[in-house]
Amino acid sequence: MKKLLVFVPIALLIIGCGGGEKNYYPLTEGNTWNYRTITNVTMPDTTISDTGSVKTEITVKTTLNNGTEVYEQIMTMDGTADTSYVQDTDDYILSYEDKADTEPDTMVALPLEEGKTWTVLKDSAYTETGKAIGKESVTVPAGTYDDCWKIAYIYADSAFSETSFVYLAPDIGMVKVYESMEIDTNMTSEFTMELESVTIK
């Protein structure tokens, strides 16, 4: 999942706060989040829209091949499932692609503070950086959530850069994702993912 829009799988999966902070992504077996997605591709003479669904579930507490304790997380998008493994430490929320992964993505650096930045992933060809923007109130189909952290994820390589925004609600987790990008001078794409329902154990 080396790139945020891969939330889809990015996994999305940003996780939340430890160290005395509110929990912005509760890791408990059976927690389930259901989202709707909307993609709009705009061209000079038309706009093409597409809708979809995403379900994310914490299924079981398990271990990586090296013995590290993690939570298995399954994200299903329009019928296609992607499994990742999430670890909550005192300083970071880490996401592993598989049980053999030894170089996790750093989804969140804890504690969250306005202006705080961290490297999500670094490759010889590109980088992705996270930045805590601040707190906002967010309204989605599942309701209105106050004190949501707005996190920017900036992906950059030698050719271009793009920014995705993720909103994390206390004791709920991710409630919204937004990304807009220019495909070329005549085409732009806008992606939104919003929480429709949630079960927190």
User: pLDDT tens for residues 158-193?
Assistant: 787 899 999 999 999 999 999 998 878 889 999 999
pLDDT value of position 21: 56
Query: Which tokens go with 146?
Result: 């106050």
User: How high is the mean pLDDT of the chain?
Assistant: 88
As a whole number, mean pLDDT of residues 64-73 equals 97
Q: Residue 190, exposed/middle/buried by CB under 10 A (0-12, 13-18, 19+)?
A: middle
Is residue 178 within 8 A of residue 165, CB to CB? The reply is: yes
Let me know how long the chain is.
Answer: 201
Is residue 29 within 8 A of residue 58, CB to CB? The reply is: yes
Query: Which tokens go with 167?
Result: 């909103």
- pTM (global) more than 0.85: yes
Neighbours of 81 (CB within 10 A): 11
Is residue 47 within 8 A of residue 57, CB to CB? The reply is: no
